[in-house]
Chains A and B, each alone.
Chain A
Amino acid sequence: MLDLDPRLDQKLRSLYEQIEEANPPAHLAHFDPERSKPRSRGFNFVIATAALAVVAIAVGGFAVELRAHLSGPGPAPAAHATPTPMPTPTAGIDAPPVVPGNPVANPAFQVPQVGAVSTVTSLKGWTVAGDVELVPVGTIGQPLFGSQYLVLQTGPVAGRVSQRVKTVPGTNYQLIFTTGLSPACTGSATLDVYWNGRYVMGMDTTPATHPSLAPGDLGWSTDVFASALATGTTTTIGFVGAGACGASLNDVILQPFPLPVG
């Protein structure tokens, strides 16, 4: 408990008492998850589009200036005469969060960088099987973090990624992952989560269950598997695309989660 001087303590307590007098909106007591969507759902797409437009204009302007500079008086350096398009490593909306102590390697699937939608058979840190794709920013949908996201397709072989990470036996962990809809697919979709090879949960990523999303918005959501008990010094975490469409993944974090009392 904080040791505050009495005057500040009294004022702060009065403020919190005032705040706690506010009644929550009545409809929260009759919450319907099928119908309830936060007011700002879909706003991401608008902001993301605007942000990308600004970036595009800035990059375009720079390219024009560069071209003018290169075509100016004097011979342009040969190495710069024919610039080749390169994937921008940090073109995403936000850089992937860096969580201290996260044992997951390549947690946001930013390595290897791809310039176009690519089927991948290897990912740094991850074991890959089945139909797995990396989708860079500016192609289909937008990642929430970084410049690309992972799609676990379901056919012909279900896409799956897994990674063995260091854990402390007997410690409870929370597996936090950012999941989105599978782009360009309208059927049923699920992201299955595995803990040490055991199926622990399935996230519904069916587009039909997210009708309020704007086109191109993958409805990124941070989900948690919170009752993950490590039984060994290493634990294998895995994600598998299921249903007709599979799912998108953008970030994976594993961290101890001592459940507080209270």
Chain B
Amino acid sequence: VRRVSRTASGCVGKGVVALTGLTSTGESVSEPTFEAVVVADAGRLYTLALSILRDPGEAEDAVQETLVKAWRSWESVSRMERVSPWLTRVCVNHCISRRRHLRSRGWPPLDLFEGAGSTMVGNPSADVIDMDRAYRQLSLKQRAAITLNYRHGYSVEECAAFMRCRAGTVRTHVARGLATLRKELGDA
């Protein structure tokens, strides 16, 4: 089994793990680079994290944490046929994890930021602002379940795999989240 050190030459300070190998016939084969596979997905992960966390700084942290983990696990990650679902899973779990909550319980409280500065770009309509206010009343798990299921179109079972819980739990998060949105918007 090939063993790849993450501090091997070619990795340090460049942010790119460019590995090459030889096939049994001696033909040189370029393996996917960390940058091409993982970093290229950062924009999508950022949007996903921002949808769940509704805080640009926290979302940035989540993406960075995801990229660091991908880098540390590059040896196995690079062998995956589809890295994107793995990255999604790691990112979602960071967003809803207890460890992040632990950090967030420090100072300054996350809640102060959540209600304070607008994270909207441009001039959002009153409806969107109202919706955002209602959306922020949801728990992180409810936001994650709705984002993955509603916005990204993943099935409940796929959401469960991403969120490390049961499918029934995802359904509960979605249902309760939507009920809260309806209540907050006066649509109940």
A28 touches B47 (CB 8 A): no
Expressed in whole angstroms, the minimum distance between the Cβ of A254 and any Cβ of chain B is 12
The answer on a CB contact under 8 Å between A97 and B50 is: no
A71 within 8 A of partner (CB): no
The majority secondary structure among interface residues of chain B is helix
Chain A interface bracket (under 10, 10 to 19, 20 to 34, 35 or more) = 35 or more
Of the residues B11, B15, B76, contact of A200 by C-beta under 8 Å: B76
Does A203 sit at the interface, judged by CB under 8 A? yes
| A202→B73 CA distance, assembly (Å) | 8
B6 touches A204 (CB 8 A): yes
Contact A39 B3 (CB under 8 A): no
Min CB–CB distance A36 → chain B (angstroms): 5
Contact B47 A18 (CB under 8 A): no
Chain B residue contacts of A4, Cβ below 8 A: 150, 178
B13 to A, closest residue via Cβ: A34
- From B12, B76, B103, B127, contact of A201 by CB (8 A): B76
Give 28 CB contacts A-B under 8 Å: A4-B178, A11-B127, A11-B128, A15-B132, A18-B120, A22-B50, A24-B47, A25-B56, A28-B60, A29-B43, A33-B67, A33-B71, A40-B103, A43-B103, A199-B3, A200-B76, A201-B73, A204-B7, A220-B99, A222-B99, A225-B76, A226-B80, A226-B86, A226-B89, A255-B164, A259-B86, A262-B85, A262-B154
B interface residue numbers (CB < 8 A to A): 1, 3, 5-7, 11-15, 34-35, 39, 42-43, 46-47, 50-51, 54, 56-57, 60-61, 63-65, 67-69, 71-73, 75-77, 79-82, 84-86, 89-90, 93, 97-99, 102-103, 105-106, 119-122, 124-125, 127-128, 130-132, 135, 146-147, 149-155, 157-158, 161-162, 164-166, 174, 178, 181-182, 185, 187
